[in-house]
Structure 1
Amino acid sequence: MQVRKIDTFGGHRDCVYSLESGATPETFFSAGADGLVVRWRLDRPDLGDLVARVPASVYALAFDPASGWLWIGQNYEGIHVIDPNQKKEMRSLKITSAAIFDIQVYRQTAYIALSDGVVAQVDTSEFAVRRHLKASDKSARSISINPVERELAVGYSDHTVRIFDLETNTLKHTLTTHTNSVFTVRYSPDFRCLLTAGRDAHLKVWDAEAGYTLVHDVVAHMFAINHVTYSPDGRWLATASMDKAIKIWDAATLRLLKVVDRARHAGHGTSVNKLLWTSHQNQLISASDDRTISLWDVTEAGFH
């Protein structure tokens, strides 16, 4: 496997926490501790477009393709929804005074993970809170949706991952093998597997079709794993860590294929917080505490 740094997107004034796909494969959004929400083009890294500015840090963004609007989680204040083309706020909702760790939009519902342990469900058309799903007093950190099994996976700071029925919100499974906060949960593109990782630096793969039996468990990094994502075709996965490295793995075997770090690839100088693996030429985007966003070309050796 070959990984090559293509470019660096600079302009944020503080840690970058969130990346989100845009309306087209070559566009994406970023946000972080400076409250700036920026739209970028993969083919023009010098042309960052400021679409919103909020007065608190932003951990979570979600683009709703149905409306073309961007959901912004402003910590301690609630949700702002903007039209990024008009750079205009369309809606806002004071759902919480807690931190907002994740937002996932599925059909007509936005699922919002909060630091008080609640997963708020907001109707995207009526812009009203439908229900609060509370299964823990510790933070809900990450959400992933499985439309095949009709399930909702949530990772919590109480070291567990809980699987809920998407229709009834009943608790179906509780996964308890992590020994610290679960920062990231992600279903595979074919929805057969669930990845979980977090502060214990373990990367775990669960068989979602077999009642969430544990398939793989590896100590993947030296420090906390902040985020995990699949390549668009599902063959590879990437992990981002507080140890400043990105690692790329074979999704089927969990064999380590590449370590992307500062020494070998001019990688990030501090914690890598978020990844976005795009369908635009299979390019991988990473965001860091070092205030920069890096763009990586990932190819198999011998294929370009």
Structure 2
Amino acid sequence: MVKIQVNKLHTLTGHNDCIYALAEAPDPRYFFTGSGDGMVVLWDLDDPKDGKLIAKVNHSVYALEVDSQRNQLIVGHNFEGIHVIDLVDQKELWSLNITNQSIFDIKISGNNIFVGTADGMIIVIDTETKAVKRHLKISEKSVRVLALSPDGYRIAAGLSDHSIKVFDLNTLEPIHNLISHSNSVFALGYQPNNSVLISGGRDASLKIWDAVDYSLKQSIVAHLYAINYLAFREDGRYFVTCSMDKSIKVWDAESFKLLKVIDKARYAGHGTSINKVVWSRYNQNIISISDDRKISIWNLEF
């Protein structure tokens, strides 16, 4: 059995509302957070105590995505659209008003920005023309999370209608409709080696799907309450989940066995729902954000 020692390194404050969005910068020494206060803040893992405000919008920010190729940050501005920020001079380059709905997730592939919204839409935006290419209506319920396959051929969407829908990334034709969850799907991620797709949601369960034929391989009762997000370590050997039950759990990505529980009682964890986690490529620490308006940084020694 793998032994893991957990050390809490930092608790960062500064946001005035629940923190919903989290993304690594192209240089993974830095990361971004977005909050219900409309603030987007840049943090430095080498000197994390003081964040730097790089954007302020009028509504909550649920989604952030980094375009590493162009060194840009895409901010999802609820009830309005997206803002694209140049990360060299930290100035807004352009924005696009595309929706009067909440924006729950953003992914970028090549020249396409994919925006998942509360009215069951995936809006495809061309980064070159800065215009909407396509509105893909995939459900009457919210698109909560998007995941790109590492081989670049698929995009998967987790929905509030309890399904996961998989599309050809180039044609956007539907390929699979995965039904197993009994409630909204909030968490979705392909293993970096492309062998499995893992999903989690309001039913507190994890589903392990074969990433080739999309058959259901395993179902795990993983948390007490909703699973909000999951993230793999860069090498794909482990992944973490975070939940409304205020805990972070560390899992083996081959056996899918639970390895560690990080919570308030044992490790002075978050006091309320944990909304997102990132497994840092910079120093392999885990970054977590919460409704308690705090960011925690954890060191895991295996």
Normalized against structure 1, the TM-score is what? 0.96
**Partner of residue 102, structure 1:** 105
**Partner of residue 127, structure 1:** 130
Q: Equivalents in 1 of 2:194, 2:78: separation in Å?
A: 30
**Partner of residue 298, structure 1:** 300
**Partner of residue 252, structure 1:** 254
Deviations 1:122-170 (A, max 9, x none): 1112111111111211000110111526111000000000011111111
Q: Higher mean Cα deviation, 65-74 or 256-265? A: 65-74
Q: Equivalents in 2 of 1:227, 1:50: separation in Å?
A: 25
- The amino acid of 2:18's aligned partner reads C
**Partner of residue 188, structure 2:** 185
**Partner of residue 226, structure 1:** 228
- The amino acid of 1:9's aligned partner reads L
Q: Kindly indicate whether residue 144 of structure 2 is the aligned counterpart of residue 141 of structure 1.
A: yes
Q: Equivalents in 2 of 1:170, 1:87: separation in Å?
A: 36
Counterpart pick for 2:61 among 58, 61, 66: 58
**Partner of residue 266, structure 1:** 268
Q: Kindly indicate whether residue 56 of structure 2 is the aligned counterpart of residue 28 of structure 1.
A: no
Counterpart pick for 2:83 among 69, 73, 80: 80
3-state SS, counterpart of residue 264 of structure 1: helix
1:86 CA drift (Å): 2.4
**Partner of residue 214, structure 1:** 216
Deviations 1:168-203 (A, max 9, x none): 111111111000000111111112210111100001
- The answer to whether the 8 Å contact 1:8/1:45 transfers is no
- The amino acid of 1:254's aligned partner reads F
- The answer to whether the 8 Å contact 2:122/2:135 transfers is yes
Moved over 3 A (4+): none
Unaligned runs of 5+ in 1: none
- The amino acid of 1:2's aligned partner reads Q
Counterpart pick for 2:95 among 68, 84, 92: 92
**Partner of residue 69, structure 1:** 72
3-state SS, counterpart of residue 286 of structure 2: strand
**Partner of residue 279, structure 2:** 277
- The answer to whether the 8 Å contact 2:102/2:117 transfers is yes
Q: Equivalents in 1 of 2:10, 2:237: separation in Å?
A: 24
1:8 CA drift (Å): 1.1
1:61 CA drift (Å): 0.3
- The answer to whether the 8 Å contact 1:104/1:143 transfers is yes
- The answer to whether the 8 Å contact 2:150/2:192 transfers is no
Q: Higher mean Cα deviation, 173-182 or 211-220? A: 211-220
- The answer to whether the 8 Å contact 1:76/1:99 transfers is yes
Normalized against structure 2, the TM-score is what? 0.97
- The amino acid of 1:162's aligned partner reads K
Count of aligned pairs between the two proteins? 299
**Partner of residue 8, structure 2:** 5
Q: Kindly indicate whether residue 85 of structure 2 is the aligned counterpart of residue 45 of structure 1.
A: no
1:213 CA drift (Å): 1.2
Q: Equivalents in 2 of 1:191, 1:9: separation in Å?
A: 34
Counterpart pick for 1:236 among 224, 229, 238: 238
Q: Equivalents in 2 of 1:80, 1:151: separation in Å?
A: 25
Unaligned runs of 5+ in 2: none
Q: Higher mean Cα deviation, 121-130 or 145-154? A: 145-154
- The amino acid of 2:166's aligned partner reads I
- The answer to whether the 8 Å contact 1:186/1:228 transfers is yes
Counterpart pick for 1:289 among 277, 288, 291: 291
